[in-house]
Amino acid sequence: MTKMSARNMFIVATVVVSAVFLYLTYLSHMSFAARTHSENITAQVEHGKKVWERHACIDCHTLLGEGAYYAPELGNVIERRGEPFVRTVLETAAVQGWGTTRKMPQFDLSKEDIDSLVEFFKWMNEVDTNNWPPNIEG
């Protein structure tokens, strides 16, 4: 193989896989609405996502398995713990420890923020994740 043929293979491979990748991206977009129930993304859910981002929750928790590994998975937290428990945690974080005394900072969330975050978690719980996680503990 010469350098030029190696270069040409690089170019051809890149073009072909990029085309396939873009086509699969197109197919993914076709399925997002149904798989994520995007019709349920209300203004409240949208605000909940902003609250989630404002406090960088992802840098301790995971959401559908992505994030940091210092605190529990939250994609299915509503199903696992129930809404009242989630609300209590959001209201009283940092006051109490969990298990080995890892603590969550107190973010002083408003009632509106907590409501939105709960709606956001409820929406997340309905996303079709191909049956992940393996069990309710996330």
Partner 1 sequence: MKYQFESQRVSYPYFVAAMALFAAQILFGLIIGAQYIWPDLLFPAIPFNIGRMIHINLLVVWLIFGFMGSAYYLLPEEVEGEIYSTKLAMLQFWLFLVGGATAIVGYLFRWHDGREFLEQPTIIKAAIVVVVLMFIFNMIMTMIKGRRTTSITVVLLTGFLGLAVFYLFAFYKPANMTVDKYYWWWVVHLWVEGVWELIMAAFLSFLLIKLTGIDREVAEKWLYVIVGLTFLTGVIGTGHHYYWIGTPAFWQTWGAWFSAIEILPFAAMVAFSFKMIGKRSRQHPNRAAVLWTVGAAVLSFIGAGIWGFMHTLPQINFYTHGTQITASHGHLAFFGAYAVIVLAMISYAVPNLRKSTPGITRQKMEIFSFWTMAVSMIFIALALTGAGIVQVYLQRVLAMSYMDTQSYMKIFYVIRLFFGVTFAIGLIAYLYDFFTGNRSKQRHFGA
Instruction: Using CB under 8 A, list all residues that contact partner 1.
Output: 1-3, 6-7, 9-10, 13-14, 17-18, 20-21, 24-25, 27-28, 31-32, 35-36, 38, 41, 45-46, 49, 52-60, 62-73, 94, 97-103, 105-106, 124, 127-130, 132-138
Question: Which CB atom, from 27 or from 111, has the smaller least distance to partner 1?
Answer: 27
Is residue 57 within 8 A of residue 70, CB to CB? The reply is: no
CA distance 44 to 48: 6
CB of 116 to partner 1, least distance (A): 12
CB of 87 to partner 1, least distance (A): 19
CB of 138 to partner 1, least distance (A): 7
CA distance 87 to 29: 33
Question: Which CB atom, from 84 or from 134, has the smaller least distance to partner 1?
Answer: 134
Among the listed residues 56, 24, 52, 55, the one whose alpha carbon sits nearest the alpha carbon of residue 122: 52
CB of 75 to partner 1, least distance (A): 9
CA distance 19 to 23: 6
Residue labelled with tokens 């969330």: 109
CA distance 86 to 118: 8
